[in-house]
Structure 1
Amino acid sequence: MTKTSRSLMAVAWCVLSITSAWAWPDKAVTIVVPFPPGGGTDTGARIVAQKLSVKWGQPVTIDNKGGAAGQVGADFVAKAKPDGYTLLMGNVGTQSINPALYKKLPYDPDKAFVPISLVAELPLAMMINPSVPAKSDKEFITLAKSQPGKLNYSSSGAGGGPHLAAEMFKDATGTFIVHVPYRGGGPAITDLLAGNVQLSFMTVLEASGHVKAGRLRALAVTSEQRVSALPDVPTLAEGSIPGFNSISWIGLLAPAGTPTSLVEKMSADIREVVEMPDVKNRLIDLGGIPKTSSPAEFSKFIDNDRKRYTAVIKTRGITAD
């Protein structure tokens, strides 16, 4: 192939890429949530999908593919055609924690996806069943220390953000609380509501409705500042653990190889949607912190976040089992 031929092919590819982005979408778009319905990632995805459907003039459906701490859904998207019709609502677990936690994943986390944009940061809340005799984080710590190994806590999965937050809490307070992992935030919350476990760390997105209805009690939030959805709930940092900070997040990604022009269009559209007053207010009311980014910013964010969790996992000796 001559140099001229190669140049013409490159130009043709660029034109095709731009044309594809301009025509997209001409059919339904699927956002894969790699967890069961009911969790924070699922809730955030549905809020955004509704507006994107209007923006794009095509249905935007949610496909919940839970399993293996998000690996099943992430792998499905990693192997999907890079045409913008199958996207991943990833989170801190799928993009930052799993690569540090598992020696081998069914996909290469560095090469399988192209980041599109952050959607929201999701602070965590320290939640207990109302039957537990504790009104504050300090009272719970005293209770746990008096009954080592007798209290249980649920999480959305071994090695997930809530699990790591709970283990950091245990390490900082010198308590022994038994971990009971579930396949997603929904089932973990269900057993907390039933009183089968006493404690769970979950996103404020997941917690706020249960707190307002009196079904669960929030003892603290894990962010550095209080959140507007639970304004009367103190932070762990201002209570029993100065400096404590553990925030989850959600963001949209596409399979590697998706045309750059299409990725940039989707990123701009997500920014527009998340900045809509009703979307922003829904995320805030549910405990999220709306936050978007460019593809490059999101890529850097994931890299830094992964390094932080790699250090935590190694220091704490945390495994996926």
Structure 2
Amino acid sequence: MLSPAWAQGDYPNRPIKVVVPAAAGGVTDTPARIVAERMREPLKQPLVIENQGGAGGLIGGEAVKRAAPDGYTLLYVNAATHGLIPALKKSVPYDAQTDFKPIVMTVRAPMAIVVHRDSPFKMLKDLVESLETQDKPLNYGSPGPGNTSHLVGLMLADASKGKMQAVHYRGEAPMIQDLLARNIDFITSNMIRSHVEGGQLRVLATTGDKRWFAFPEAPTLKESGFNAEYYAWSGFVAPAATPDAIIKHVNAAANQALAREDVRKTLMENGFEIIGGRPEVFAKAIKKYIDSVRAIGRANQIQID
């Protein structure tokens, strides 16, 4: 049943809150703000970003699950909140596939495994081979348990059978700062382009199915001997009972924003591939990703407590 506001054809008639279940300035927050700002014009209302990080994004996700399904509270999800965590964590306060309606996947991006410029590791195999001989574990950064960065670290640890320790942060920014300060050994991120171009960090490999346009000289994981690929993706969803007409309306606004040349330019400068498309395409992508990660988890006995 449509809400009175929609039945009168005036949705939205007030600002729309978008909960971003991650810290400001990170790989999830950045595209959310870029796209939301340009959705203002077709929707004729502002989209107000509210960061609710913590617990790997579960707090923000649970809050939107319980929100009124009237189109005025949306959730900007990522590969952790709607992929890795539901697939690998024992207890999650929502069902990623049934408690929300997908609206649109906005972007995706491969990630780069990077070290400090003064690190002894020149290639990914150098890092992995070092695990066989050193006594103390390598520390790698992760912007929260269940993040794609965390999964890449788990994969490398499993492949090498070496000692590695995840160091979890509240977002990308403090994680990157600790790598720059050499407090950790490596990270997996796609928010490090300026630091790489500035010569502060070095890319060992990227995680997509082909070489990343941001770092075309860096080999992929597959080229480095690992049969794996990982993307950080993100997009809009709404509480499950939100009317389909509202979903369609917001989807159209998001696709209009993603078609703008200034939006595409800014997103690509930040290393993102523009996706867009219909809600059902996003729904299928979420299911496929959860199934894929769950299979990896079972095969490698990976589980997040």
TM score, norm. by length of structure 2: 0.93
Q: Distance in 2 between matches of 1:171 and 1:112?
A: 33
User: Is 1:19–2:4 an aligned residue pair?
Assistant: no
Match for residue 152 of structure 1? 139
Q: Which residue of 1 aligns with 2:220?
A: 235
Conserved 8 A contact 1:149-1:178: no
Q: Is the 8 A contact 1:159 1:318 kept in 2?
A: no
8 Å CA contact 2:131, 2:162 repeated in 1: yes
CA distance in 2, matches of 1:305, 1:150: 30
What are the equivalent positions in structure 2 for 1:56-67 lying under 5 Å apart? 56-67=43-54
Determine whether 1:217 maps to 2:202: yes
Q: SS of 2:234's equivalent? A: strand
Residue 143 of structure 1: aligned partner: 130
1:272 matched to 2:256: yes
How far 1:14 sits from its partner (Å)?
5.4
| 1:281 pairs with one of 250, 254, 265 | 265
The answer as to whether partners of 2:19 and 2:73 remain within 8 angstroms in 1 is yes
Q: Partner amino acid for 1:81? A: A
Sort the Cα spacing of 1:106 and 1:150 in 2 relative to 1 into closer, same or farther, 3 A: closer
Runs (5+) with no aligned partner, structure 2:
none
Q: Which moved more, 1:98-107 or 1:45-54?
A: 98-107
Q: Which amino acid aligns with 1:221?
A: T
The aligned residue for residue 192 of structure 1 is 179
Q: CA offset at residue 18 of structure 1?
A: 5.1
Q: Distance in 2 between matches of 1:281 and 1:148?
A: 46
Which of these residues, 119, 123, 145, is aligned with residue 132 of structure 1?
Answer: 119
Return structure 1 stretches of 4+ with deviation > 6 angstroms: none
Normalising to structure 1: TM-score of the pair?
Answer: 0.89
Give the paired residue count: 305
- Deviations 1:215-240 (Å, cap 9, x if unpaired)? 32211101121111222222122234
Does residue 94 (structure 1) correspond to residue 81 (structure 2)? The answer is yes
Structure (1 or 2) with the greater helix fraction: 1
Structure 2 counterpart of 1:36: 23
Per-residue deviation, residues 232-272 of structure 1 (Å, max 9, x unmatched): 2221222343x331112101001111111110111111112
Larger Rg: 1
C-alpha deviation, 1:191, in angstroms: 1.5
Residue deviations 1:151-210 (CA, integer Å, cap 9, x gap) = 2101112222111112112323444322212232233222212211011111x2x12122
Are 2:291 and 1:307 aligned? yes
CA distance, structure 1, for counterparts of residue 12 and residue 4 of structure 2 = 15
1:126 and 1:27 map into 2 onto residues whose CA distance is 42
Taking only aligned residues, the RMSD between alpha carbons, in angstroms, comes to 1.9
Closer, same or farther: CA 135–307 of 1 in aligned 2, 3 Å = same
CA change 1:150–1:100 in 2 (3 A) is: closer
Which one of the candidate residues 278, 291, 296 is aligned to 1:294?
A: 278
Query: What is aligned with 1:8?
Result: none
Out of 104, 107, 112, which is 1:117 matched to?
Answer: 104
